[in-house]
Structure 1
Amino acid sequence: MTLARVVQTCYGCPAQWDAWTTDGQYLYLRYRHGNGSVERQEGPDTDTWLDHPDQIVTEWDDDTLLGEIELDDFLARAGLRLAPGAEVVRGWVT
């Protein structure tokens, strides 16, 4: 999957981002205690989220118990990539 826009919403414990693919699909990226996950949802409004196994794109456990990860490392582990010219907003956004 290729990402057109990524917005960091929390730096650590968990590290998390809102992301949109080049075809407009919203993804929630999360990493905490060495566990990473990517979920498909309708958008960033958590009131609209579904709790269903089909929403999970990928999950992993790197056995580190870490709560912080750089975006580039997260993307590599998740099998995601940034599109050329992708918008990346780093830092806490409220």
Structure 2
Amino acid sequence: MVAKLARVIETCAACPSQWNAWTVDGQYLYLRYRSGIGTVDAYESPDPDAWTRFPDGGVARFDTGDRLDGDMELSEFLAVTGLELAPGAEV
């Protein structure tokens, strides 16, 4: 998947590292890295109470194998998942 992100907000720095992100087309994505597993899921809203399914990596998923790791920089997360920041993205 190569999606361009227009806006990214870090919602937790570690354990898990997670971000709310919006593509240039306005699609909301939930990015999360915890216990060595990174997931990207698309939802209608950033409100978890409105989500109809558990985040499972429906858009992208990776596994580093390190169950004790929950900290990852956004740049590394994007590189592993194939996501990219759009020019002028708000981060």
When normalised by structure 2's length, the TM-score is 0.90
The aligned residue for residue 48 of structure 2 is: 46
Q: Which contiguous aligned blocks of 4+ residues in structure 1 show a shift greater than 3 angstroms? A: 52-55
Q: Does 1:83 align with 2:86?
A: yes
Cα distance between partner residues in 2 of 1:35 and 1:47: 23
Q: How many residues align?
A: 88
CA RMSD, aligned part only? Answer: 1.8
Where does the alignment leave 5 or more consecutive residues of structure 2 unmatched?
A: none
> What is the SS of the residue equivalent to 2:52?
coil
Cα distance between partner residues in 2 of 1:42 and 1:24: 10
Cα distance between partner residues in 2 of 1:33 and 1:47: 23
Distance 1:33 1:56, change over 3 A: same
Contact 1:34 1:64 survives alignment (8 Å): yes
> Bigger CA drift: 76-85 or 44-53?
44-53
Identity of matched residues, %: 57
Where does the alignment leave 5 or more consecutive residues of structure 1 unmatched?
A: 89-94
